[in-house]
Amino acid sequence: MGFIQKMAESAKQLGNQARDFSGIAGDKARDISKKSSELIEVTKMKYEMKKMEREMENNLAGIGALYYQQQSGQDDLTKELERLLSDTKELEKEMKELEKQIVELQPGASVCADCGKELPTGGKYCSFCGKQVVD
Ligand SMILES: [Zn+2]
């Protein structure tokens, strides 16, 4: 099996994988009241965010591989593509939700007005979208 085929095969699996974000991105984070556990929660959420970012990268690579194979072969991969696309959109929504919760748990941290990502202290430009920081 060639590289592209392998990529497309694993991409087909991606859409079927059940993800377990329920405990993290759900209501659980909002119920926490103690400061110390908030800190642990933020660390956990940031770790979860990293995992989701990796999954996002995998999904996007998978979409590319499926699309490429679809364009160059006889395989009809429309269903797999659609499933992976909707799965990825769902993932993006969950990432935004998690991002919001992380920000809510860190009232001191400043956030980019444009993309909502956390800003490094004293930075003049957002390191994610490049927008200038306004106070
Ligand atoms: Zn930004």
- Is residue 90 assigned to a domain? yes
Ligand 1 centroid distance, CA of 125 (Å): 8
11, 65 in Cβ contact below 8 A?
yes
Average of pLDDT values for 78-96? 93
pLDDT at site 32: 45
Average of pLDDT values for 69-74? 84
Q: Quick one: residue 75, left, alpha or beta (phi over 0 = left, psi -120 to 50 = alpha)? A: beta
- Is residue 29 assigned to a domain? yes
Ligand 1 centroid distance, CA of 135 (Å): 14
| Three-class secondary structure of residue 128 per DSSP | coil
pLDDT at site 5: 80
Average of pLDDT values for 14-26? 57
Q: Alpha helix locations (H) across the chain? A: 3-14, 22-25, 28-31, 35-72, 78-105
- Is residue 133 assigned to a domain? no
Ligand 1 centroid distance, CA of 51 (Å): 21
Q: CA 91 to CA 94: how far, in whole Å?
A: 5
Rg over alpha carbons for the chain, rounded to the nearest Å, is 18
Q: CA 12 to CA 67: how far, in whole Å?
A: 11
pTM score, two decimals? 0.63
Ligand 1 centroid distance, CA of 117 (Å): 6
Inform me whether the pLDDT recorded for 34 exceeds 90: no
Ligand 1 centroid distance, CA of 119 (Å): 8
Determine what percent of the chain is predicted with pLDDT higher than 70: 79
Inform me whether the pLDDT recorded for 110 exceeds 80: no
Ligand 1 centroid distance, CA of 132 (Å): 8
- Is residue 120 assigned to a domain? no
- Is residue 129 assigned to a domain? no
Domain count, the chain: 1
Ligand 1 centroid distance, CA of 131 (Å): 6
pLDDT at site 1: 66
- Is residue 114 assigned to a domain? no
Ligand 1 centroid distance, CA of 26 (Å): 25
- Is residue 11 assigned to a domain? yes
pLDDT at site 98: 92
- Is residue 61 assigned to a domain? yes
Domain range spanning residue 76? 3-105
Q: What is the mean pLDDT of the chain?
A: 80
